[in-house]
């Protein structure tokens, strides 16, 4: 009710001041996270009335909502009446999911199913963010119609989440994406950016995985795809079902680390490629490349070159300030 009163006050104020409040409404879950922040910004800067919700880091910028609290979810959805909901919130760290399977399943599956029901209740188009880890990585590239076979519990919970949202709301889009990077608040937010310290501190050799094939994808690009998908849906109700989006530069973590070093003119001779499959942690698919032609045929998509995107993302964390002065001044 409090949220509704805020919206009403904003609407009244807009009428008095003749301010244009966008009529298209979108709700972003997980708006405090790496992807959620980018999605919120993308919609907000493109004439959408945008509300984000989060949990631990929500206030003051976003609404504080526990997605496991069905009443709280019902209230925000029914008060705001969004046309679109982008569901970014998830436990996305495979090793954490293995260690906390029940908590991960509650968020990735149960909360997603409930959100899909609430979205259906107000006629909202739901975009559920999923993962390339629903595939086993043995026969890429994968189309949306290929049969999933997740190797780890994270992939299994996200696949169960896909089924749950589609069962509870036919007007849903599932968007599968690979490993993400972008403008992080801390390096640990992304499996790509977390490598930066190993790259920068070249006085110590560092082992880097050179087995798993990845397609690092900028969160700004995924955010643009979400907005384009939502806007296409507003024109065409047949836009629903499963979609894939991904960067198109294939790299191992070793190759990403070398590209990061190159982007900042740093040495890479201390980085050591490890070609054996990892023996610790959750199983990972060797190559879960996503075929993105379905979205491309709809005229949807955006790709930032990796070196450009990683430079934008990481330069605030650069230890050697002389490089900043050389490049940015």
- Say whether the peptide bond before residue 225 is cis (omega within 30 degrees of 0): no
pLDDT given for residue 17 in this prediction:
43
Specify whether the CB–CB gap between 97 and 282 falls below 8 A.
yes
pLDDT given for residue 40 in this prediction:
97
pLDDT given for residue 68 in this prediction:
94
Give the closest residue to 326 by CA, choosing from 194, 318, 308, 270.
Answer: 318
- Domains of the chain: residue spans and CATH: 25-185+216-249+288-305 (3.40.50.720)
In the chain, the percentage of residues whose pLDDT exceeds 90 is: 77
Segments of the chain with pLDDT less than 70: 1-21, 58-59, 321-329
pLDDT given for residue 20 in this prediction:
59
Please report, to the nearest 10 degrees, the dihedral formed by the alpha carbons of residues 13, 38, 146, 288 taken in order: -170
Token representation of residue 244: 């894939």
Decide: residue 256, CB within 10 A, 0-12 exposed, 13-18 middle, 19+ buried: buried
Q: H or E stretch including 166? A: helix 153-168
């Amino acid at each position: 009710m409090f949220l509704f009163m805020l919206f009403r006050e904003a609407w009244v104020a807009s009428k008095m001041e003749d301010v244009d409040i966008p009529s298209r409404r979108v709700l972003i879950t997980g708006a405090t996270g790496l992807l959620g922040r980018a999605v919120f910004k993308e919609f907000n800067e493109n004439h959408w009335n945008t509300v984000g919700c989060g949990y631990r880091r929500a206030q003051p910028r976003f609404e504080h909502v526990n997605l496991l609290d069905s009443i709280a979810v019902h209230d925000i959805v029914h008060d705001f009446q969004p046309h679109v909901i982008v569901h970014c919130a998830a436990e996305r760290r495979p090793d954490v999911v293995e260690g906390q399977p029940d908590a991960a399943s509650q968020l990735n599956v149960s909360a997603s199913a409930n959100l899909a029901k609430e979205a259906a209740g107000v006629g909202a188009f739901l975009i559920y963010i999923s993962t390339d880890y629903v595939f086993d990585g043995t026969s890429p590239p994968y189309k949306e119609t290929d049969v999933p076979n997740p190797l780890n519990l994270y992939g299994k919970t996200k696949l169960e989440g896909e089924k749950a949202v589609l069962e509870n709301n036919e007007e849903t889009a599932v968007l599968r994406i690979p490993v993400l990077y972008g403008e992080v608040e801390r390096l640990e937010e992304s499996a790509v950016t977390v490598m930066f310290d190993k790259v920068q501190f070249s006085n110590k050799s560092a082992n880097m995985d050179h087995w798993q094939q990845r397609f690092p994808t900028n969160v700004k690009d995924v955010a643009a795809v979400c907005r384009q998908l939502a806007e296409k849906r507003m024109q065409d109700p047949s836009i629903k079902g499963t979609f894939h989006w991904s960067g198109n530069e294939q790299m191992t973590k070793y190759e990403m680390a070398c590209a990061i070093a190159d982007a900042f003119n740093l040495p890479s001779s201390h980085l050591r490629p490890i070609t054996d499959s990892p023996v610790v942690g959750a199983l990972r698919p060797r190559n879960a490349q996503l075929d993105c032609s379905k979205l491309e045929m709809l005229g949807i998509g955006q790709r930032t070159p990796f070196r450009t995107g990683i430079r934008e993302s990481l330069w605030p964390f650069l230890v050697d300030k002389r490089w900043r002065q050389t490049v940015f001044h």
